[in-house]
Amino acid sequence: MRTLFSGGTILTCDANHTIFSQGDLVIEADRIVYVGPAYGGTYDVRLPAVGRLILPGFVNAHTHAPMTLFRGLADDVNLQVFLAERVWPREIRMSPDDAYHGAVLAGIEMLRSGVTTYADMYFFPEELARAALDVGLRALVTPGIIDSPAWIPRFGTWEDFTQRALEFCTAWEGREGRIHTGLGPHSPYTLSLDALMRIRQVALEHDLPINIHILESPWEKDNPDVPDVERLADRGFFEGRTIAAHSVWVDAAGIETYARRGVGVAHCPQSNAKLGNGIAPVWAMLAAGVDVGLGTDGAATNNNLDLHEELRLAPLLQNVHSHDPTALSAGQALAMATRLGGRAIHLPDIGVLAEGYRADILVARTDDPAAVPLFDPSGYIGHVVYAMDRGCVDQVWVAGTRVVDGGEVLTVDVAQAMANVQRAALAVTARAAV
Shortest Å, Cβ 303 to Zn ion: 14
- How deeply is 367 buried, as exposed, middle or buried, from its count of CB atoms within 10 A (0-12, 13-18, 19+)? exposed
Shortest Å, Cβ 314 to Zn ion: 16
* Closer of 257 and 272 to Zn ion (Cβ): 272
Shortest Å, Cβ 350 to Zn ion: 21
Q: How far apart are CA 20 and CA 218, in angstroms?
A: 44
Count the residues in the chain: 434
* Closer of 297 and 306 to Zn ion (Cβ): 297
* Closer of 56 and 184 to Zn ion (Cβ): 184
Question: Site residues (CB under 5 A) for Zn ion?
Answer: 297
3-state helix, strand, coil in the chain (%, to 5): 45, 25, 35
**Number of residue whose CB is nearest Zn ion:** 297
* Closer of 199 and 371 to Zn ion (Cβ): 199
What DSSP state is assigned to residue 355? T
Shortest Å, Cβ 376 to Zn ion: 38
* Closer of 9 and 277 to Zn ion (Cβ): 277
Reading phi first (left if > 0) and then psi (alpha if -120 to 50, else beta), residue 209 is in: beta
Q: How far apart are CA 392 and CA 370, in angstroms?
A: 9
Residues sharing a CB contact under 8 Å with residue 350, sequence separation 6 or more, in sequence order? 56, 57, 59, 116, 117, 138, 342, 357, 358, 360
Residues sharing a CB contact under 8 Å with residue 269, sequence separation 6 or more, in sequence order? 279, 280, 294, 310, 313, 314, 317
Residue 294: how many CB atoms within 10 A of its CB? 32
Shortest Å, Cβ 213 to Zn ion: 5
Shortest Å, Cβ 23 to Zn ion: 37
* Closer of 23 and 144 to Zn ion (Cβ): 144
Peptide bond into 373 cis (omega under 30): yes
